[in-house]
Amino acid sequence: MNPRAHAIKVGVKRGWTEFKLSLRAPDDLSFYLLWAGGLLVFLFLNRHSTVEGTGLSASVVALPGVLAAMIAFGAVVGPSYQLVLEREDGTLLRAKAAPFGLDSYVTGQVVYQFLGVLPMLVLLLVPPVFFLDGLVPRGAVGWLAVLGVVVLGTLAILPVGFIIGSLARKPSHVTTVAILPVMGIAAISGVFFPITAMWAWVQVVAQVFPVYWFGHALRWAFLPDGAGAFEAGGQWNLPGAFAVIVLWGLVGLVLSPRILGRMARRESGSAVEARKAERMQRVG
């Protein structure tokens, strides 16, 4: 096996190890359980109320939007935060010291962040099957669509997380350049209420970003066919969803290696030392 392919294989194993470690880490677990628990309670309490004028269950309408926001959050904020932290603590420099270590590190991050989205999705998807009626009326095709959005959507926007993580200089920057923008985009993307309730120009802006389309494709899977009337174009548009998501993925795939590479080239022992000193000052 050529050494680069070998290093990528080592990276896949690394991602899996990191994932297993995170499942055993109390802080990660409590994060998953608190968020998922809160959302499930919300969905459970609203299981019988209907959205005015539609006859649809409020919880069934809310679930796709919640999942869309989760994917966006997990795939953008997760890796950007991790990258900033691991640059600061020297993990990245260690990777750089090994042959093809950076290829391996990035592979590990992709695997880890991708797997990291799953526990939340399982926690959010499995219980509602038992207490929400009429979930995924399309049956197997619908569940396949859900799986497709999760896999394709996560992979498409992971590069955005890597780019933000490369550009942010310290953990607190991640709040400004990742968490706030993602929340803002989620807010206009029909996650919390139907997009048609927005001004027309906001609807146009929202359709540029993938979050709306995650929600769109998930609603197609979760809701009856007639609910398409509440979407931005007044009907379902799966090819549109696919196109926007894939386009984001391609742009990210082209840009992220360069930006990551440029960031990694600057890493050295003294750079880590300097950030450590700066952090000590910040914290102490």
Binding mask 2-31 for another protein (x = CB under 8 A): xxx-xx--x--xx--x---xx--x------
Q: How far apart are CA 147 and CA 42, in angstroms?
A: 23
Residue 112 touches another protein, criterion: CB under 8 A: no
Token pair, residue 103, equals 């290829």
DSSP per-residue codes, 166-232: HH--SHHHHIIIIIHHHHHHHHHTTSSS-GGGS-HHHHHHHHHSHHHHHHHHHHHHHS-GGGGGGST
Binding mask 248-277 for another protein (x = CB under 8 A): -------------------xxxx-xx--x-
> Closest distance between another protein and the C-beta of residue 133, in Å?
41
Residue 89 touches another protein, criterion: CB under 8 A: yes
Residues constituting the chain: 284
Q: How far apart are CA 103 and CA 189, in angstroms?
A: 34
One-letter identity of residue 2: N
Q: Per residue in 119-145, is it b (16+ CB within 10 Å) or e — as a string? A: bbbebbbebbeeebeebbebeeebeeb
Q: How far apart are CA 209 and CA 213, in angstroms?
A: 8
> Closest distance between another protein and the C-beta of residue 260, in Å?
16
Residue 86 touches another protein, criterion: CB under 8 A: yes
Residue 90 touches another protein, criterion: CB under 8 A: yes
Binding mask 30-69 for another protein (x = CB under 8 A): ----------------------------------------
The Cα diameter of the chain in Å comes to: 63
Residues 134-153 contacting another protein, CB under 8 A: none
> Closest distance between another protein and the C-beta of residue 100, in Å?
5
> Closest distance between another protein and the C-beta of residue 78, in Å?
16
Token pair, residue 233, equals 């174009």
Chain residues in the site for another protein (CB under 8 A):
1-4, 6-7, 10, 13-14, 17, 21-22, 25, 86, 89-91, 93-94, 96-101, 104, 267-270, 272-273, 276
